[in-house]
Amino acid sequence: MNSNTENNVRFEIIVVFLSVFAVVMSGVRGAPQVPCYFIFGDSLVDNGNNNQLQSLARANYLPYGIDFPNGPSGRFSNGKTTVDVVAELLGFDDYIPPYATARGQQILGGVNFASAAAGIREETGRQLGGRISFSGQVENYRNTVSQVVDLLGDENTAADYLSRCIYSIGLGSNDYLNNYFMPQFYDTGNRYTPDQYANVLIQDYVENLKTLYNYGARRFALFGIGQIGCSPNELAQNSQDGKTCVEKINSANRIFNSRLKGTVDQLNSQFTDARFIYIDSYGIFQDIIQSPSSYGFRVTNAGCCGVGRNNGQITCLPLQTPCQNRDEYLFWDAFHPTEAGNVVVGRRSYSAQRASDAYPIDIRRLAQL
């Protein structure tokens, strides 16, 4: 064998080895840590379920999605949402599809049921038109479970499969923003003290969690409410200097979050074959607002696009030109974070940076159970 032939053989062996190595490594990277990821929530995580509804709460137009791979999708951000970030960290190759379009085998990887303007209470967000409340999202999940049973062959196999999935729940923001603190449309602010209202919300919240449990859910990540009183919308309307957060609203949010965190302990005691965790979205936002430069942010009190003071009067107008330095803004519009903001929350939800970020464990450890 001459030297040229030997070199060719060696080269072919190296190419084959590298090809096999690449396939093996791609297989390792492509295996998600859990078989599926189910998402329940509002506009913070809606990825298209409101697109076909008669609703003012829609974001399927530019500049929404300006930094998302396929453009506008219904996400209320310039790019990824918090759950998109978590899905990536869990190892999913694709983003979890919205219930409105999820079909066939696709649902085995999970479904996003979130709906903009949705709340824990049925009436929440009604002034904005169509939306799917928490109980409506749970009903859609029940329909999805029936399809999972059909796909996997029997109920026992489906139950085992679903028990290994992550269930992300983040509702409550609209029950304050588009209900309790909107007296022109709702009377809850007159009927309940903040303590009473939080208790009423948690009661309904838990009933929906129990239904999810009865239909196979076992690993729950419950996201607390962020600092609504620090959103550009509230700063524009109720802050004298446009910078100081509205304490009346944040105080009510903290009461709800405290109840939700306490509920985690109760549910873990009651349902010993399940695991519930709490994500402190409020605390993570507080860290960002108190030390924005540590996270690369320069502007935390105004939207990257919008109208009026703080760009906080309404959401982004169709085809409006947004700010150029989007990664330096915490908020994309009057209510919702930029992709940069969502990345911080998503990463700290998945892998806690502080002990207080997740209780009693973070999503990464929840996936390992």
**Residues known to be catalytic:** 43, 333, 336
User: Tokens standing for 170?
Assistant: 């983040």
Q: What is the C-alpha separation between 300 and 332, in angstroms, rounded? A: 10
- Count the helix, strand and coil residues of the chain and give each as a percent rounded to the nearest 5: 50, 10, 40
Q: Is 192 exposed, middle or buried (0-12, 13-18, 19+ CB in 10 A)?
A: middle
- Residue 164: phi, psi to the nearest 5? -100, 0
Asked if 312 and 306 touch (Cβ cutoff 8 Å), the reply is: yes
| 90 within 8 A of 35, measured Cβ to Cβ | no
Q: Which residue has the tokens 């803004």?
A: 329
Taking Cα atoms as reference points, which of 307, 361, 315, 357 lies closest to residue 336? 315
Angle between helices 247-270 and 281-290 (to 10 degrees): 140
- Kindly compute the dihedral angle of the four CA atoms of residues 87, 89, 91, 97, in this order, to the nearest 10 degrees: 10
